[in-house]
Amino acid sequence: MAGPLTEKQLPRHVYELLQVLSCPMVQDLYLKETDSMLQVLCSPSELRTDILAWICSRISPSFEAMLPKLEDPDVLTKEMAALGHELTLCKADDLGLIRGDASPQRQLGFLQQLLTLVPHKRHTNEGELLLSELFAADSLPHLSQMLRPSLDPWPAQIKLLCKGTRTSPRPEEEADSLASLLESTQSELELLKSKCDFLGVEDRSPAPFSPGSLRLAAGDLQQLMKTFCRVFQSELRPFCSRPPPPLSPAAAIFHRLHGSLLACTTELEMLKELSETSSSVSLEAGQLQTEPRYWSRGEKQTLPNQLEEISKRMDTLLSQFQS
């Protein structure tokens, strides 16, 4: 016989018992660490209360019938303590054990004793069911018909070959008949292929999602939603029920200050662009003064020289015109 379970083995043993009994509260929990199992089984929470209520409903049919009416958690705790007292597993006023305030070892021992009282479902082997149905009295005529069929399943050619009455045709005739049969079969296949558009599956692009992957994704999403709902009900709901924080009366001042800073930033950007434009204009003007860009008498000259030459020519023309 195996010795008593240690403190580390007991939580895993109780958790595995719940899974064997198909407890719906732990079917979607894939726990591997002992600390996680101990947290679920021995910490006060709604999940632990649901597990304990499910165990009690499996043990006592009267408790199962009364369970939908027990909406008050305190009343439910007292009823489960009363059931434990009837089973001589705890005292009637031992509410701390039911809530999860007792020591982990005591809680695990209590759960283990309760689980030993849960009736197991009888699993029947599918092979035994099939054999019992196959060899039943009503099925014997069908079985005899299968063993000795009235219609011989062998093809006609095999029958003739077995009886020895088939005459071997000439090779030329057999080749001609096979060729004609092959041609007719090929034409029939081409006709069927032209009528069936779904046969060209190879040319189509593969579907982006398969039903298996979608089913797996939906299962993962359902598991995440269940876990989130339990965490929300047990831990996050008190924080979400708090009133919103009051707004400061200085919000209007900050709004006006933000508008002023935004306008100041816009003006500074405009001044920066104006300064850059002025610098580029000054640079362009300097280049006009210093770089030779205009042709005169076969040579490039700067703008001042070109203007000076034009002025001299104008003066010469004016003096000639006046004289």
pLDDT (tens place) for every residue of the chain, 323 residues total: 345 677 778 888 888 888 888 888 888 777 888 888 888 888 888 888 889 999 998 888 888 888 888 888 888 889 999 988 888 888 888 888 888 888 888 888 888 888 888 886 544 445 555 666 666 666 777 777 776 666 555 555 555 555 555 455 566 667 778 888 888 888 888 888 787 765 555 445 555 556 777 778 888 888 888 888 888 888 888 777 778 777 777 778 888 898 999 999 999 999 999 999 999 998 888 887 788 777 777 777 787 888 888 888 888 888 888 76
Residue range 73-91, pLDDT digits in tens:
888 889 999 988 888 888 8
Identify any residues that bridge with 299 across adjacent strands, giving them in sequence order.
296
Residue range 253-300, pLDDT digits in tens:
888 898 999 999 999 999 999 999 999 998 888 887 788 777 777 777
What value, to the nearest 5°, has the Cα angle with vertex 39 and ends 33 and 44?
170
CA distance linking residue 125 with residue 128, whole number of Å? 5
User: How many Cβ atoms from other residues are within 10 Å of residue 279's Cβ?
Assistant: 10
Distances (CA, A) of 4 to 7, 103, 114: 10, 18, 17
CA distance linking residue 166 with residue 172, whole number of Å? 17
Domain ranges of the chain: 9-116, 273-323
CA distance linking residue 20 with residue 24, whole number of Å? 11
